[in-house]
Amino acid sequence: MAEFLSSQEFLNRATYPIAPTNPALSGPAMLQAKQGAVTAVAAATGSVYRLTSVPSNARLEGIVLRNAALAGVTAVDIGLAEQLPPGTPFTAAPTYANSVAGNQNCYATGQTLAAAGNTGTNLVNLATCTKRVWEVAGFTADPGRAFDLVATVTTGAAVGGQIAVNVTYASAG
């Protein structure tokens, strides 16, 4: 049997009075892009790379990871970390967003960097594509601040090479 389904935007228009649609999901939102890159010196297990930052009210459309061949780096998680205060050097393991260890891999788990990846893979999946960053991080309300998108090496070897990310996101405004 055929299905006839509507997204939330169309369901909201079918109500009276018309229910407002979340502009971050379908409406006048600004699509933005950011890039970040690091050159890993010794990508050993436990290494963390802050790639770029994203505002908490953003809905990520795409996270595309690119890398040089880092032989032996077979598992990298992509997640969210709290930003460091200005002027603070990044010298220790990060506090993951909302102080939740699960935010180490809230966007991807076990991505391999062993072979060069120049075409990239979009790491935003069905579970996260309609949520704002603060929702993915487990907050009950928007904290109104940015978070860092981080790569955490969970299985690695002491090898070096470049890791880059391109992020596209929609945010109201």
* Confidence check: pLDDT of 173 > 70: no
Nearest CA among 163, 98, 110, 104 for reference residue 134: 98
What is the tens place of the pLDDT at every residue in 90-123?
777 788 888 888 888 888 888 888 888 766 678 8
Return the pLDDT at 2: 46
What pLDDT does residue 99 have?
A: 85
- For residue 14, being part of any structural domain is answered with no
Task: Establish if 108 belongs to a structural domain.
Answer: yes
Is the Cβ–Cβ distance between 158 and 45 less than 8 Å?
no
pLDDT at 41: 80
pTM equals 0.78
Q: Which residue has the higher pLDDT, 113 or 8?
A: 113
Looking at the domain assignment, is residue 71 inside a domain?
Answer: yes
Q: Is residue 138 part of a domain?
A: yes
Provide the domain count of the chain: 1
Task: Give the pLDDT of residue 133.
Answer: 92
pLDDT at 11: 56
21 belongs to a structural domain: no
User: Is residue 96 domain-resident?
Assistant: yes
Q: Are 79 and 94 in contact (CB under 8 A)?
A: no
CA atoms of 116 and 43, how far apart (whole Å) = 15
Residue 57: per-residue pLDDT: 92
Average pLDDT over residues 51-70: 88
Q: Can you give the pLDDT at residue 137?
A: 92
Q: Which residue's structure tokens are 């949520």?
A: 131
Nearest CA to 147 out of 81, 98, 58 is that of 81
83 falls within a domain: yes
pLDDT given at position 9? 59
Q: Which domain holds residue 147?
A: 27-172
DSSP characters for 114-164?
SS-BSS--B---TTTTTS-HHHHTT-SS---SEEEEEEEEEE--S--EEEE
